[in-house]
């Protein structure tokens, strides 16, 4: 059986490695746009306070994965799925090729969500969603420090990633202003009391937190960046980071005619509307309507899916009990997180 997996994040690589063990006779191909190897995405938000992050973040090199018998096609973009012919068209080094599959697994992850008012200002803001994003930001920061400037960052979004990155940049000594549109931080994950604790922890680290401060857009002013707010504008930033949630990558599935809701729709067996195409991870919307966009449940999906594809179970995937946790330096929630 030839199993083709799109994506080399927690979903794709955990699945490939487990399948390698459970189904040694299967041929495994991973198509991925990544070039750096399999890395820990959660470490991205602590990517400024650690000097060794660009090497320590790599969990497995692609060379190592290939040695274990997984055909990793790196720097490769899956372009289209023909589910009638059971083929995927992909591009590598400017050349288009086609591979057939018996089972296709979609683990393309998610993009950072960019609210519509910001989209016109592309080029004025950055996101932190991949190792390439982190490397770019670290270079920008190093150049500012080398010129004797203490970087001043605006972070737009006081959710989990915005708060984590704000704490990490503040820990390095940078100036950080965190803009959040709502009256309390991480309101989707924390009860009010914990939001208040988080606010004082961030302020203690030196983060200038602005609540009820929804940004309308961004501008360049006098060589620096500015944020437009309802009450005027705030200028003088070296970088703007947008951290407003995530958007499942659904375009390939949608173009192939698979059902897509917020994510790629899958049933209790992580199977899309085509029985030979499955999906998991940040891109998949499960039968209960949820997207399990955290490492622990995604790993569980991948381990279950390997068993299922190897013919070792027919039971449905059961979402595990898990506790999300924000990696804000110095913060511990007193109550369970909401999910």
Ligand X SMILES: Cc1cc2nc3c(=O)[nH]c(=O)nc-3n(C[C@H](O)[C@H](O)[C@H](O)COP(=O)(O)OP(=O)(O)OC[C@H]3O[C@@H](n4cnc5c(N)ncnc54)[C@H](O)[C@@H]3O)c2cc1C
Q: What residues make contact with ligand X under the rule CB under 6 A?
A: 6-12, 31-34, 41-42, 44-45, 76-78, 107-110, 128-129, 161, 249, 252, 281-282, 293-296, 298, 327
Three-state secondary structure string covering the chain: CEEEEECCCHHHHHHHHHHHHHCCCCEEEEECCCCCCEECHHHHHHCCCCCCHHHHCEEECHHHHHHCCCEEECCEEEEEEECCCCEEEEEECCEEEEEECCEEEECCCEEECCCHHHHHHCCCCECCCCHHHHHHHHHHHHHHHHCCCCCEEEEECCCHHHHHHHHHHHHCCCEEEEECCCCCCCCCCCCHHHHHHHHHHHHHHCCEEECCCCEEEEEEECCEEEEEECCEEEEEECEEEECCCEEECCHHHHHCCCCECCCEECCCCCECCCCCEEECHHHEECCCCCCCCCHHHHHHHHHHHHHHHCCCCCCCCCCCCCCCCCCCCCCCCCCCCCC
CA 52 to chain centre: 21
Q: Residue 267 CB, nearest distance to ligand X (Å)?
A: 18
Q: Residue 11 CB, nearest distance to ligand X (Å)?
A: 3
Q: Which is nearer to ligand X, 9 or 158 (CB)?
A: 9
Name residues whose C-beta falls within 8 Å of residue 275's C-beta, 6 or more positions apart in sequence. none
Q: Which is nearer to ligand X, 88 or 215 (CB)?
A: 88
Q: Which is nearer to ligand X, 217 or 319 (CB)?
A: 319
Q: Which is nearer to ligand X, 111 or 234 (CB)?
A: 111
Q: Which is nearer to ligand X, 112 or 226 (CB)?
A: 112
Q: Residue 35 CB, nearest distance to ligand X (Å)?
A: 9
Q: Which is nearer to ligand X, 32 or 167 (CB)?
A: 32
Q: Residue 263 CB, nearest distance to ligand X (Å)?
A: 10
Q: Which is nearer to ligand X, 226 or 317 (CB)?
A: 317
Q: Residue 123 CB, nearest distance to ligand X (Å)?
A: 21
Q: Which is nearer to ligand X, 153 or 226 (CB)?
A: 153
Q: Residue 153 CB, nearest distance to ligand X (Å)?
A: 15
Q: Residue 247 CB, nearest distance to ligand X (Å)?
A: 11
Q: Residue 146 CB, nearest distance to ligand X (Å)?
A: 25
CA 114-118-121 angle, 5° bins: 120
């Amino acid at each position: 059986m030839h199993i083709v997996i799109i994506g080399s994040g927690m979903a794709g690589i955990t699945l490939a490695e487990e399948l390698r063990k459970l189904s040694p006779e299967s041929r495994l191909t991973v198509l991925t746009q990544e070039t750096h190897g399999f890395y820990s995405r959660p470490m991205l938000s602590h990517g400024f306070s650690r000097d060794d992050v660009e090497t320590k973040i790599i969990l497995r090199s692609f060379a190592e994965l290939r040695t274990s018998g997984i055909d990793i096609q790196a720097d490769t973009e899956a372009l289209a799925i023909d589910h009638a012919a059971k083929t995927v068209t992909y591009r590598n080094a400017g050349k288009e090729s086609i591979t057939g599959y018996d089972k296709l697994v979609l683990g393309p992850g998610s993009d950072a969500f960019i609210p519509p008012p910001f989209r016109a200002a592309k080029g004025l803001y950055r996101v932190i969603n991949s190792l390439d994003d982190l490397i770019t930001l670290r270079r920008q920061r190093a150049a500012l420090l080398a010129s004797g400037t203490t970087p001043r960052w605006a972070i737009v979004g006081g959710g989990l990633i915005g708060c984590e990155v704000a704490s990490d940049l503040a820990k390095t000594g940078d100036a950080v202003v965190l803009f959040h549109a709502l009256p309390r931080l991480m309101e989707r994950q924390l009860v009010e009391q914990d939001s208040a604790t988080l606010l004082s922890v961030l302020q203690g680290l030196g983060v200038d937190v602005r609540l009820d401060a929804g940004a309308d857009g961004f501008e360049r002013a006098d060589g620096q960046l500015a944020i437009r707010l309802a009450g005027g504008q705030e200028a003088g930033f070296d970088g703007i980071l947008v951290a407003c949630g995530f958007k499942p990558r659904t375009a390939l599935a949608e173009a192939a005619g698979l059902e897509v809701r917020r994510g790629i729709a899958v049933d209790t067996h992580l199977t899309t509307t085509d029985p030979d195409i499955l999906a998991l991870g940040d891109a998949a919307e499960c039968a209960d309507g949820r997207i399990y966009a955290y490492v622990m449940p995604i790993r569980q999906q991948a381990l279950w899916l390997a068993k299922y594809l190897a013919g070792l179970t027919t039971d449905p995937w059961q979402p595990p009990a898990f506790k999300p946790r924000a990696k804000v330096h110095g913060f511990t929630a007193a109550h369970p997180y909401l999910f």
